[in-house]
């Protein structure tokens, strides 16, 4: 079982550019959540996808958007990058049928640096 | 809405000593509680979780945590730490109803020295 895989592992972008991060969930999982972890902070929830729909969103601007594909993989897109978007972006997968108490499995993250 | 407060940003301890990492939470609804560990340049790994029943829960790597409803706390403990336990530890909560999104604390860095 490959677990949750994210790509790329590191990325450097310039202010104003756009970026796409990718996530493949753990085998058997159908729900993908994205989190932003700024340096020295805990992860903050961006949004969650289930059945190819965004079903919950955290307090992030519309510059942050996502997509889930039929195979449950997901993308996170960030437009008009700001220096403050520099962070570790974590993808977490879960199975909706296992309930909230199951927790989530996290990938290794993508380190985004905006210069 | 929920919030999580981890009272110590950094906890230095000597190898083989006991350690406690403190976590308090606030929520208007019933929650599940989790502790995750993050090793350098890695993602998060689930250490343990409290769902219901016994307030003392045991996790991986010899860690345990105690849920205290009256104090809204979920402190993490280990009786004897190893150098390899050096990592960032995050307390998190999720609502028992609705969607399984996690609210994290800011983390506690456990620094184990010889």
For chain B, the maximum distance between any two Cα atoms, rounded to a whole number of angstroms, is 45
Residues A38-53, mean pLDDT to the nearest whole number: 94
Confidence class of residue A102 from pLDDT cuts 50, 70 and 90?
Answer: confident
CATH, range B2-113: 2.60.40.10
| Domain residue ranges of chain A, discontinuous segments joined by + | 5-114
* Among B42, B90, B102, beta carbon nearest to A104: B102
Residue A65 binned pLDDT confidence (cut-offs 50, 70, 90): very high
Query: Domain spanning A5-114 has what CATH number?
Result: 2.60.40.10
Pairing of strands A110-114, A10-13: parallel
Q: What residue in A sits closest to B10 (Cα-Cα)?
A: A40
pLDDT for the residue numbered A95:
85
Cβ-defined contact of A100 to B98 (cutoff 8 Å):
yes
Q: B18-61, pLDDT tens digit by residue?
A: 999 999 999 988 889 999 999 988 889 999 999 888 899 999 99
CA–CA gap between residue B97 and residue B42 (Å, rounded): 30
pLDDT digits (tens, 9 = 90+) for B47-103: 999 988 889 999 999 999 999 999 999 999 999 999 999 999 999 999 887 777 899
Q: What does the H/E/C string look like for chain B?
A: CEEEEECCCEEEEECCCCEEECEEEEECCCEEEEEEEECCCCCEEEEEEECCCCCEEECHHHCEEEEECCCCEEEEEECCCCHHHCEEEEEEEEECCCCCCCEECCCEEEEEEC
User: Among all residues of chain B, which has the CA nearest to that of A95?
Assistant: B100
- The residues, ordered by sequence, that sit 6+ positions from B20 with a Cβ below 8 Å of its Cβ are B75, B76, B77
Q: Which pLDDT does position B14 carry in this prediction? A: 98
CB contact under 8 A, B44 and A90: yes
Asked if the Cβ–Cβ distance from A41 to B106 is below 8 Å, we say yes
Q: What gap in Å lies between CA B30 and CA B23, rounded to an integer?
A: 16
pLDDT of A98 above 90: no
**pLDDT at residue A24, rounded to an integer:** 97
């Amino acid at each position: 079982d490959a677990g949750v895989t994210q790509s790329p592992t590191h990325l450097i972008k310039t202010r104003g550019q756009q970026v796409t991060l990718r996530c493949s969930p753990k085998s058997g999982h159908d729900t993908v959540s994205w989190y932003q972890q700024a340096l020295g902070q805990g992860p903050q929830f961006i949004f969650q996808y289930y059945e190819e729909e965004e079903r919950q969103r955290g307090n992030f601007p519309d510059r942050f958007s996502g997509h889930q594909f039929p195979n449950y993989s997901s993308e996170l897109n960030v437009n008009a990058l700001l220096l403050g978007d520099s962070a570790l972006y974590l993808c977490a997968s879960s199975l909706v049928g296992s309930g909230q108490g199951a927790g989530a499995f996290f990938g290794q993250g993508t380190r985004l640096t905006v210069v | 809405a929920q919030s999580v407060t981890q009272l110590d940003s950094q906890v230095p301890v000597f190898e083989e000593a006991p350690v406690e990492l403190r976590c308090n939470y606030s929520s208007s609804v019933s929650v599940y509680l989790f502790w995750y560990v993050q090793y350098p340049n890695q993602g998060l790994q689930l250490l343990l979780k409290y769902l219901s029943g016994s307030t003392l829960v045991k996790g991986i790597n010899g860690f345990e945590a105690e849920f205290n409803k009256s104090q809204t706390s979920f402190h993490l403990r280990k009786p004897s730490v190893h150098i390899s336990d050096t990592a960032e530890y995050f307390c998190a909560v999720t609502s028992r109803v609705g969607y399984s999104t996690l609210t994290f604390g800011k983390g506690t860095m456990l620094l184990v020295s010889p």
